Amino acid sequence: MDKNGPPPTYSSAQSGWTQPQQPPPGWTPAQNYQPAQTYQPSGPAPAVIITAQPTHVHYNAPVGPVSSRVICPSCRADVHTKLQHEPTTQTHLMALCLFCFLCWPCVCLPYCMDSCQNANHYCPNCNAFIGTYQS
């Protein structure tokens, strides 16, 4: 009354095994191959845990024309940036235009207007450059 028929699951497991090598007689392939199948690597082992910098901290951070609150990439302090305005090519061009139109007293205006210059943001703690706001 006991069923001793061959289980059909073995043949399906063997079909996935693409080695053309014939197993020697007396070797039970399905039984011996089963532990090897449990050793299926579940993807690359996550041995290296990447402790990258937080993504919101990077150089040339998105900063505005006014002092912004950022985390300094250098000293990791939560700071309000120190602003330094720097004349850009646009500033010089504007001054040149004013000079050409004989508005000489106005030539210095672009250099006095913060909106005509780049705003460089620096960390007040360690003086690290954080970002530039280009007007």
Stretch that binds Zn ion, among 22-30, 100-108, 111-119, 120-128 (CB under 5 A): 120-128
Stretch that binds Zn ion, among 66-74, 83-91, 93-101, 114-122 (CB under 5 A): 66-74
Give dist(CA 6, CA 14) in Å, integer.
Answer: 13
* Of the residues 72, 95, 116, 119, which one makes contact with Zn ion according to CB under 5 A: 72
- Residue 128 is a binding residue for Zn ion (CB under 5 A): yes
Of 80 and 92, CB closest to Zn ion: 80
List of residues contacting Zn ion (CB under 5 A):
72, 74-75, 123, 125-126, 128
